Structure 1
Amino acid sequence: MSTLRKVTRIFKRILIVLSVLVVVLTIATFFYMRQDKFGALPEGKRLELVKSSPHYKDGRFRNLVERPTLTKGYSMPGVLYETLFTKFPNRSPVDSLPSIKTNLKSLDPSENAYVWFGHSSFFLQVDGIKILADPVFSGKASPIPGSVTAYKGSDIYTVAGLPDIDYLLLSHDHYDHLDYETVKALQTKVKYVVCGLGNGAHFERWGYTPKQIIEKDWYESVEVKPGFKILTESTHHDSGRGFTSGQALWLSFLIQAPSMNIYYSGDGGRDDRFKTIGSKYGKIDWAIMECGQYNKAWQSVHELPEEVALATQELGARNLLPVHNSKFTLANHPWKEPLEKITALSKNKSYRLATPMIGELVQLDNQQQQFKEWWKTVN
């Protein structure tokens, strides 16, 4: 047998093996992604409502101003290569993060309070209404086991420790904001879910009743009680839990309570919305702003710290609470950099920066409450 024929036979065998591996992997992926944790796509009347939105065009939801996800000069292969093969120091803490276990069930119902659970999960009690946003208590932020896990000390709360919740707010359906295990365990504790159009499909698959789910487009409102509204605003981001993106809408929120206005940014890159929202509502007492898991490469969908500081000023907010940090590693920057940078950038600004530890009770009516720069002592 000639050398050429031998090489040809070997090459064919390699192709056959590779083809079999691809088929096996495809089948395995198909069945793996049929698990409940991947949620569901809108269909039927929900899909008709999605398609009727002015923000749904050409088969998906769109941002107000379309721009590439990757910044000019970056490529997806280049970003993937850098992430996989470049070593970035201090992306995760070595030490356990300091935290406080506040008993949320024993709070004075007349107290206006905020408790942060790390990343973008937080609890609000305002004018007697209990609100929970983007809860992730499973210790992970990815459908791939062991890939994105919570830092030591950052995952001290469980669903069992929460009181009954009047409104669960979902900014969007990415895994670090919508957690299957947490949301499923919360079903009997939550009165209503407020989410963007299309997201209700996830909640219904996970056992929530249609009466519990309130799906909204941008610029709509939910009447909580007289003088108390939850308003849905835009942001510049995306959605998706599988290979199909943009089928559920992403939101930011303005909580317009009798005693104060609170804005939650959700995730999203910079645009003119902060000026618009600031002008629209006149007074924002607290701004809960995404600040972390950023990169110059994907700046269009996640703000850099200097943009967070500017946005807070454009909102006209009196106080800033930075979130989207200190629980998961989803970017290449050092884990404490978002807090270091926003602290430096917030000096002598028109707003007051509040940096509570995970679980620390923030007294929303107390402008004199002091907060430590707790990350400085953590390696």
Structure 2
Amino acid sequence: MNRLSRRLLLFTCALALAACATSAGFQNLENPAVQPTQGAFKIWWRFLVAEKVGTVPVDPVPLRPLNRATLDALDVNANHVIRLGHSSHLLKLRGKYWLIDPVFSERASPVQWAGPKRFHPSPIALDELPPIEGLILSHDHYDHLDRATIEALALKVNRYFVPTGVGARLQTMLVPAARIQEFGWWDSGTHAGVQLTATPSQHFSGRTLTDRNSTLWASWVIQSGEERIFYSGDTGYFPGFKEIGERFPGIDLALMENGAYDPYWPAVHMTPEESIRAFQDLKAKTLYGVHNSTFDLAFHPWREPMDRLAALAAQNRIDLATPVIGEVLTLGKPRSNELWWSKLR
């Protein structure tokens, strides 16, 4: 992609981001401490003219390739989380496969000729995925809801679990309405032995310049057997984390957003310091940073979210999981925790 195409696409993204501050439709919970998003002109101008430094890795991002044999060999009595990149994860929950916010396309963009390009391939090809029991979406932004991925999986996923309003999006992507279940905040349901609850987050939604906040955004609590997984989705820091932790005590693993933050849009993405605070509010056992290492979506260096989170976790004696792309994390089992990014450029 040439520089002009990149700038034009980032300009479009900036328009969408700036619109979130004043849009009607679904709204975030009241948060007196929320910091305002910068004005539209400032965001537009910055995306158009500001130079980025170190936002894309020079060295290859390490990756562990996956195949069906490896996945099928995983213990069917345990719960496994496999990092696919960015916020995309494949889960094997007591023998059944699930996906969270799967994006397999080359770019997180409305078009594939321009937009943020992957730093690394997916550790498993889309057509090699096993049958998927359930697919969970946090919201409708392009780096979380990918049309090509959904269209390829449309009839291969048994059930889709999405925030209110996102079901209509999926139906335009060939997903049958009968396979979709929409959730408002605090709605719960059970499927294939897994209990799901959509919980609040502080973000916004929309895929064009005219549909701001027309669909809901959410975090999720996923319970399989006696173990609980929390997925933050995209979110700024807000007091709701404490309530989630109170309603769902004993979260074993918290997949917390940690990337694409910026002082220009502090309300919709968390800094590493805020990710730590939110994790502490949840009173979860293990922290797992997501929303980094795959796409260039902000102005901070690509390694910065992980460097800061690791340092803060050590200072606060927090159990931090640091899987490489393609690594399997099995809840309750020992794991390697190397800081795999630390020596990369």
Q: Sort the TM-score into its range (normalised by shorter chain).
A: 0.7 to 0.9
Taking structure 2 as the reference length, the TM-score comes to: 0.87
Instruction: Please provide the CA RMSD for this pair.
Output: 1.9
**Equivalent residue number for residue 65 of structure 1:** 30
The amino acid of 1:150's aligned partner reads R
Shift of 1:377: 2.5
Q: Distance in 2 between matches of 1:242 and 1:112?
A: 37
Deviations 1:215-259, CA, capped at 9 Å, x for gaps: 111110111255x31111010111111121111110110012213
**Equivalent residue number for residue 27 of structure 1:** none
Q: Distance in 2 between matches of 1:70 and 1:87?
A: 25
Q: Which has the larger radius of gyration?
A: 1
**C-alpha contact (below 8 Å) 2:323/2:337 kept by paired residues:** yes
Task: State the number of aligned residues.
Answer: 318
**C-alpha contact (below 8 Å) 2:79/2:224 kept by paired residues:** no
**Equivalent residue number for residue 342 of structure 1:** 309
Q: Distance in 2 between matches of 1:150 and 1:62?
A: 31
Deviations 1:321-347, CA, capped at 9 Å, x for gaps: 100000101100000100001000101
Q: 2:84 aligns with which of 98, 117, 124?
A: 117
Q: Where in structure 2 are there 5+ consecutive unaligned residues?
A: 1-22
Q: Distance in 2 between matches of 1:172 and 1:93?
A: 27
**Equivalent residue number for residue 241 of structure 1:** 207
Aligned runs of 1:216-235 on 2, under 5 Å?
216-225=183-192, 228-235=194-201
**Equivalent residue number for residue 165 of structure 1:** 132
**Equivalent residue number for residue 146 of structure 1:** 114
Deviations 1:86-139, CA, capped at 9 Å, x for gaps: 223101011221100122442332332111111100011122332100000011
**Equivalent residue number for residue 101 of structure 1:** 65
Taking structure 1 as the reference length, the TM-score comes to: 0.80
Deviations 1:190-219, CA, capped at 9 Å, x for gaps: 000000111111111121112210011111
**C-alpha contact (below 8 Å) 2:236/2:270 kept by paired residues:** yes
**C-alpha contact (below 8 Å) 2:31/2:238 kept by paired residues:** no
Write 1 or 2 for the structure with the bigger share of helix.
Answer: 1
Q: Where in structure 1 are there 5+ consecutive unaligned residues?
A: 1-57
Is the alpha carbon distance of 1:111 and 1:256 closer, same or farther for their aligned partners in structure 2, counting shifts above 3 Å?
Answer: closer
**Equivalent residue number for residue 7 of structure 2:** none
**Equivalent residue number for residue 371 of structure 1:** 337
SS at match of 1:130: strand
Q: 2:147 aligns with which of 168, 172, 180?
A: 180
Over the matched positions of the two proteins, sequence identity in percent amounts to 35
Shift of 1:299: 0.9
**Equivalent residue number for residue 10 of structure 1:** none
Aligned runs of 1:1-379 on 2, under 5 Å?
60-65=25-30, 71=36, 74-104=38-68, 105-108=71-74, 109-144=76-111, 145-151=113-119, 153-225=120-192, 228-243=194-209, 244-349=211-316, 351-366=318-333, 368-379=334-345
SS at match of 1:191: strand
**C-alpha contact (below 8 Å) 2:67/2:124 kept by paired residues:** no
The amino acid of 2:25's aligned partner reads R
SS at match of 1:192: strand
Shift of 1:297: 1.2
**C-alpha contact (below 8 Å) 2:55/2:302 kept by paired residues:** yes
Q: Distance in 2 between matches of 1:303 and 1:339?
A: 13
Shift of 1:70: 7.0
SS at match of 1:147: coil
Shift of 1:269: 0.7
